Amino acid sequence: MRTVTATRYVTPLREGGSLPAIIEADDDGLYVLKFHGAGQGPKALIAELIAGEIARAIGLLVPDIVFVALDPELARTEGDPEIQELIRKSAGLNLALDYLPGSIMFNHAADKVDENLASSIVWFDAFISNVDRTIRNTNMLLWHRNLYLIDHGASLYFHHAWNNFIEKSRDPFPFIKDHALLKSAGSLKNADEKLSNKITLELIGNIISSIPAVWLTGNPSFSSTDQYRDAYIKYFIERLENRKLFLEEAVRARSILL
C-alpha cells in the first residue's frame, strides 16, 4: 500500500457524515481523504481498508486506496474552525481513495446493473456486513461506464464491540433486505461459489497485516497488535465458513421483493 503526503486541502465533501475531503498529495494526485479524527475514528478507516481490498481481490472495482500522512500545519490555511479542528485531530496517518473526476453517483431508478455483477456486490456486502449500500445512499459511482464501490466505513460493525465476535461472524445480516441491488441479484448462489473461492487465509492475512499498528491501539480486549490482528483474521475465516447463513438470508430477502 502506497503512502502519500497531503500537500493541500482542496474542499470538504459535506454529504459525508464524517466530513471527508478532497486533498492534493505530493504525487500531484487528488484523493478523497478519510480522517482518523472523525466519526468512529480509526475503526472506520480500518473497515474502509479491509472491505476495499477484499472487494478488489474478488474482482470488484474500488478506487485505489492509499495511506495519507497529514501535517496539522495544513489547518492554518483553512478558515472553517470545524475543518481546522478535524485536521489537527487527524495529524499522522489517514486513509484516502483515488478521486475519480467526472464520476456520477449510481441511480438505482435509472441505472441498470448486470445480474452477475449485482449478485457479486450483494454477496460481498453481506460478507462484510455493509449497512450502507441502500436506495437512499448507494455508495456506488459510475466512471467511464464502470461501476465503482466506495465508502465502506460503516461495514464490519462487529468491531465496535469485540465481545462474542466469533458469534457475530455467524450473523445472517438481515439488513441485506435494504440493499440497492438486491432485486437485480438473481445469481447469488453462483456468486457465492465464485467469490468464496477467491477469499483465502493468505489474502485475509495480507490485508490485515497492512493495517497500521497506530490504528490498533487503545482496545482493552487485546494485549498486543498481533492479538488484535489475529481476531480480525479469525472473524473473517469464521464468516467465510458460515457464509451459508448470510447467503440464505439474502436469497430469502430477495424472494420477498419479487
188 within 8 A of 120, measured Cβ to Cβ:
no
Q: Tell me, what's the pLDDT at 15?
A: 63
> In Å, how far from its chain's centre is CA 86?
21
Provide the residue type at 224 as one letter.
S
Under 8 Å between Cβ of 24 and 30: yes
Kind and range of the H or E element at 196?
A: helix 188-196
Give me the helices (H) in 64-169, please: 81-89, 115-127, 165-168
Please report, in tens digits, the pLDDT of each residue of the chain (258 residues total). 899 999 999 999 866 556 899 999 999 999 999 999 998 899 999 999 999 999 999 999 999 999 999 999 999 888 889 999 999 999 999 999 999 999 999 998 889 999 999 999 999 999 999 999 999 999 999 999 999 999 999 999 999 999 999 999 999 999 999 999 999 999 999 999 999 999 999 999 999 999 999 999 988 989 999 999 999 999 999 999 999 999 999 999 999 998
Return phi, psi of residue 228, to 5°.
-60, -50
d(C-alpha 236, C-alpha 54), whole Å: 11
pTM for the structure as a whole? 0.96
